[in-house]
Amino acid sequence: MTARSTNPFKPSAGSTPPLLIGRQPVIESIADSFDEGPGAPGRLTVFTGARGVGKTVMLNEVEEVANSRGWLTINETATTGLVARIEEHLTHLAEAREPRPRGRITGITLPLRLGAVSTEVTPELAVDVRRRLNSLLDELKRSGSGLLLTIDEVHAAARSELREVTTITQHLIREDREFALVMAGLPSAVSSLLSDDVLTFLRRADKQVLSDVPIDEVHDALSATIIANGRTIDEEAGHQAAEATGGYPFLVQLVGYHVWRSTAASHITLTSARDGITAARRRLGSLVHETALNDLSDVDRTFLMAMSPDPGPSRMRDILKRMGGVAPQYGNVYKNRLIDAGMIGSVAHGKVDYSLPYLRDFLREHGASLGLAPIKKVGNKKK
C-alpha cells in the first residue's frame, strides 16, 4: 500500500475533518451547557455562516458532546415532513428502549434515514409528538440523560414545521426538561427565522456565527495531519497551502486533499503542493461557486458580476454604475440580499467584498459561460 491510498482530508459536505480547526471554544461552551442543566443558554443554539464554513460539522460535534454524556440524539433537516419524521424517530427510540419489541413490528427494521416521510404537520401530529417527547424525557430523566434534537439546513420552506418544533421546545424548556435544540442554516434563512413573529422565542437562542479560521491554525492543522499520516511537507509548501485556503474551512480540506494526492512520494515538495493548490481551486468553482450562484436571482448575480472588475473591495457607487446606473435604493436591496445569503460582506467605508474565497476569479473566468452578461452590457434600466 502506498501512502497515496489513504488520503486523510475530507473535502465533502458534512464530513468530519481530521482536525477541527478553531472551534474548540464554541464546542466547550456548548458542552458546559449540557452539564449546567435546563435553562443553560447553549442548549438552544443556532449556527449560521456561509456555505462550507462548517455548520453541519458543528452539528455533528454537538451530537458527539451529547452522546458522550449519555444523551440520545435525533438529527434532522428542515424540509416538509420534519414533524412527522421526528414522530417516527421518537417511535423508533421508544421501541429500541423497550426490553422486547412489540409483536406487530417484530422483524421489521425501520430505515435509519426517514427522508421519505414528507407529510405536512397537523395539530394532532404536533400534540402527539409533544406527548411522545414528554414520555421519552420522563424515562430519560430516571437514567440521568436527555435528548438532543439537531435540525440542519433551516430555511423558509419548512416554516410551519419549524413553528411547531419551536413551540414544543418552548414548552420543554419552560418545564426544565433535559432537552437541547441545535439548528444550522445560511444567514438569510436564520435571520428570516429569527424575525418571524410566531418564533419570537427563538430570538433567545445562542446565535453562533461561524466564520473563517485563522491561517496559522490552518497551517498547523495541515502539517499535523500530514505528519500523523506518515508523510512530510516542504516548509514553504506548507505555508503556501495554508495561505491558499484563505482560512475557508471547506477549502482547507480541498487543498489538503489535492496537495496530498499531488504526489505518491512520502515527502510533498513545493512543486507538487502547487499542483495540488491549483487543482483544489479548480474544484472549488464547481463545488461551491456554481452551487452558490445557482441559488441566487439574476439581479443578485449581476450585482456580484459588477464587483468583479475591482481588485479588492468594491464601492457601491461603482457597482451601481456598472449595473447600468441603477438607483442607490435598488442597489441596497440587492446588497442586503447578498449579505443575508452569505455571498458578500460590508467592509470599511461603505464598500462590499466577496465572502467566498476566489469568487472574483471565478466570475471573471466563468461569468460569461454561466450566462452572466459581460459587465459593460449589464442592465438597461437607466434612471
Ligand X SMILES: Nc1ncnc2c1ncn2[C@@H]1O[C@H](COP(=O)(O)OP(=O)(O)O)[C@@H](O)[C@H]1O
Contact set with ligand X (CB under 6 A): 10-15, 17, 20-23, 51-57, 213, 249-250, 252-253
- Choice between 137 and 287, CB closer to Mg ion: 287
Residue 211 CB, nearest approach to ligand X (Å) = 11
- Look at residue 342 and give the partner it binds from Mg ion, ligand X, none, a contact being a CB closer than 5 to 8 Å depending on partner kind: none
Taking residue 18's Cβ as centre, other Cβ atoms within 10 Å add up to 18
Residue 322 CB, nearest approach to ligand X (Å) = 30
Distance CA 23, CA 181 (A): 19
- Look at residue 51 and give the partner it binds from Mg ion, ligand X, none, a contact being a CB closer than 5 to 8 Å depending on partner kind: ligand X
Residue 9 CB, nearest approach to ligand X (Å) = 8
- Look at residue 20 and give the partner it binds from ligand X, Mg ion, none, a contact being a CB closer than 5 to 8 Å depending on partner kind: ligand X
Residue 281 CB, nearest approach to ligand X (Å) = 15
| Residue 309 φ/ψ, nearest 5 degrees | -65, -20
- Look at residue 250 and give the partner it binds from ligand X, Mg ion, none, a contact being a CB closer than 5 to 8 Å depending on partner kind: ligand X
**Does residue 56 bind Mg ion (CB under 5 A)?**
yes
- Choice between 202 and 284, CB closer to ligand X: 284
Stretch touching Mg ion by CB under 5 A, among 47-55, 63-71, 83-91, 266-274: 47-55
Distance CA 13, CA 53 (A): 10
**Does residue 33 bind Mg ion (CB under 5 A)?**
no
- Look at residue 357 and give the partner it binds from ligand X, Mg ion, none, a contact being a CB closer than 5 to 8 Å depending on partner kind: none
In one-letter notation, the amino acid at residue 95 is E
Using CB positions, name the residue nearest to Mg ion.
Answer: 56
What angle separates helix 187-194 from helix 328-340, to the nearest 10 degrees?
100
- Choice between 166 and 208, CB closer to ligand X: 208
**Does residue 263 bind Mg ion (CB under 5 A)?**
no
Q: What is the 3-state secondary structure (H, E, C) of the chain?
A: CCHHHCCCCCCCCCCCCCCCCCCHHHHHHHHHHHHHCCCCHHHEEEEECCCCCCHHHHHHHHHHHHHHCCCEEEEEECCCCHHHHHHHHHHHHHHHHCCCCCHHHCCCCCCCCCCCCCCCCCHHHHHHHHHHHHHHHHHHHHCCCCEEEEEECCCHHHHHHHHHHHHHHHHHHHCCCCEEEEEEECHHHHHHHHCCHHHHHHHHCEEEECCCCCHHHHHHHHHHHHHHCCCEECHHHHHHHHHHCCCCHHHHHHHHHHHHCCCCCCEECHHHHHHHHHHHHHHHHHHHHHHHHHCCCHHHHHHHHHHCCCCCCEEHHHHHHHCCCCCHHHHHHHHHHHHHCCCEEEECCCEEEECCCCHHHHHHHHCHHHCCCCHHHCCCCCC
Using CB positions, name the residue nearest to ligand X.
Answer: 54
Residue 130 CB, nearest approach to Mg ion (Å) = 28
- Look at residue 249 and give the partner it binds from ligand X, Mg ion, none, a contact being a CB closer than 5 to 8 Å depending on partner kind: ligand X
Distance CA 104, CA 189 (A): 41
- Look at residue 12 and give the partner it binds from ligand X, Mg ion, none, a contact being a CB closer than 5 to 8 Å depending on partner kind: ligand X
- Choice between 55 and 219, CB closer to Mg ion: 55
Distance CA 249, CA 167 (A): 34
Residue 10 CB, nearest approach to Mg ion (Å) = 13
- Choice between 185 and 379, CB closer to Mg ion: 185
- Look at residue 339 and give the partner it binds from Mg ion, ligand X, none, a contact being a CB closer than 5 to 8 Å depending on partner kind: none
- Look at residue 21 and give the partner it binds from Mg ion, ligand X, none, a contact being a CB closer than 5 to 8 Å depending on partner kind: ligand X
Stretch touching Mg ion by CB under 5 A, among 20-28, 51-59, 114-122, 371-379: 51-59
Residue 215 CB, nearest approach to ligand X (Å) = 12
Residue 104 CB, nearest approach to ligand X (Å) = 38
Residue 99 CB, nearest approach to Mg ion (Å) = 37
- Choice between 22 and 238, CB closer to ligand X: 22
What would the grid cell of residue 117 be?
Answer: 416521510
Q: Which residues bind Mg ion (CB under 5 A)?
A: 55-56
